[in-house]
Amino acid sequence: MHYAPDIASPPPALRRGLACCNDACRHAHACQATRGGAAELLAMREIVERAGPFADGDRLVQPDAPHLAAYAVLSGLAMTVGGGRVLAFHLPGELFALDATRQGQHTHSVVAVGKTWFCRFPRAATDALCEHDDAIASHLRGLRREERRRPAQGDDAPALARVASFLADLLTRRRQVEPDTTFIPLPMSRDDIGSYLGMSAATVTRMLARLRADGILTVRNDGVCIADAAALAGHGLTA
């Protein structure tokens, strides 16, 4: 729980545009910025700036600061923090910080978890693209709606179900990028997971232990290996 101790010295953008955002990128096929296959979206590649590396706890954006860009995770992990709670985790290939207040300010903090690189989409360039191209505009509108809707989480479900469906969600999202993976990296602390799920860190550990005892996963010190994804989904049922 030591996030955002100070604003990190903002690392410079090292490379820009097609020089860094092209089919050679690990997530090119699945990146939320260009996903969907529509050729029009490829224009997004030309406005990208690569930003990083950020170290653990560095704050990428802070609330009330002017909204100058949206971001995608290139590698590592980021989380959105607000009101003393973790509101979302962002995996490689996922866009975030799309939303802004009516006054054009960020609504939450976003902090890096471990060493992390980002792809930066400057606001001005993005807006220009949206005016030119309806496909891009509606694509981003959809993602923004999705981001805003997230916080609606299962609230009074038992702890085991919340952890299970959290992992199932992470697995699904990771498989957008790496289809057959069974490993879910968890570089964030148990406290952060607990904050996100509304339970104590000790309970997170206990629920993982229970899933392990049920043969559903194995716990490593950098994440979990899902042995039985179907059973995992089964535990997440609210029934």
Residues 156-175 that bind a copy of itself (CB under 8 A): 156
Closest distance to DNA from the beta carbon of 110 (Å): 19
Tell me how many residues contact DNA (CB under 7 A). 22
Residue 208 found at the interface with DNA (CB under 7 A): yes
DSSP per position, 83-148: TTEEEEEE-TT-EE-----TTSB--SEEEEEEEEEEEEEEHHHHHHHHHH-HHHHHHHHHHHHHHH
How buried is 32 (Cβ within 10 angstroms: 0-12 exposed, 13-18 middle, 19+ buried)? buried
Residue with tokens 């996903």: 35
Among 40-48, 58-66, 88-96, 193-201, the segment contacting DNA (CB under 7 A): 193-201
Residue 203 found at the interface with DNA (CB under 7 A): yes
Residue 237 found at the interface with DNA (CB under 7 A): no
Taking the CA atoms of residue 100, residue 101, residue 103 and residue 104 in that order, the dihedral angle to the nearest 10 degrees is -10
State in Å, rounded, how far the first CA of the chain is from the last one.
Answer: 33
Residue 155 found at the interface with a copy of itself (CB under 8 A): yes
Q: In whole angstroms, give the CA distance from residue 228 to residue 37.
A: 31
Residue among 200, 229, 233, 234 that touches DNA (CB under 7 A): 200
Residue 154 found at the interface with a copy of itself (CB under 8 A): no
Among DNA, a copy of itself, none, partner that 155 touches (CB below 5 to 8 angstroms by kind) = a copy of itself
Closest distance to DNA from the beta carbon of 211 (Å): 11
- Take residue 109 and report the two structure tokens written for it: 């903090």
Closest distance to a copy of itself from the beta carbon of 155 (Å): 5
Q: Which of 164, 183, 165 is nearest to 175 (CA)?
A: 183
Q: In whole angstroms, give the CA distance from residue 67 to residue 144.
A: 14
Q: In whole angstroms, give the CA distance from residue 66 to residue 72.
A: 18
Which of 198/234 has CB closer to a copy of itself? 198
Residue among 17, 206, 223, 229 that touches DNA (CB under 7 A): 206
The interface mask with a copy of itself, positions 198-237, x = CB under 8 A, is x---------------------------------------
Closest distance to a copy of itself from the beta carbon of 97 (Å): 25
Q: In whole angstroms, give the CA distance from residue 224 to residue 33.
A: 28
Binding site for a copy of itself (CB under 8 A): 155-156, 198
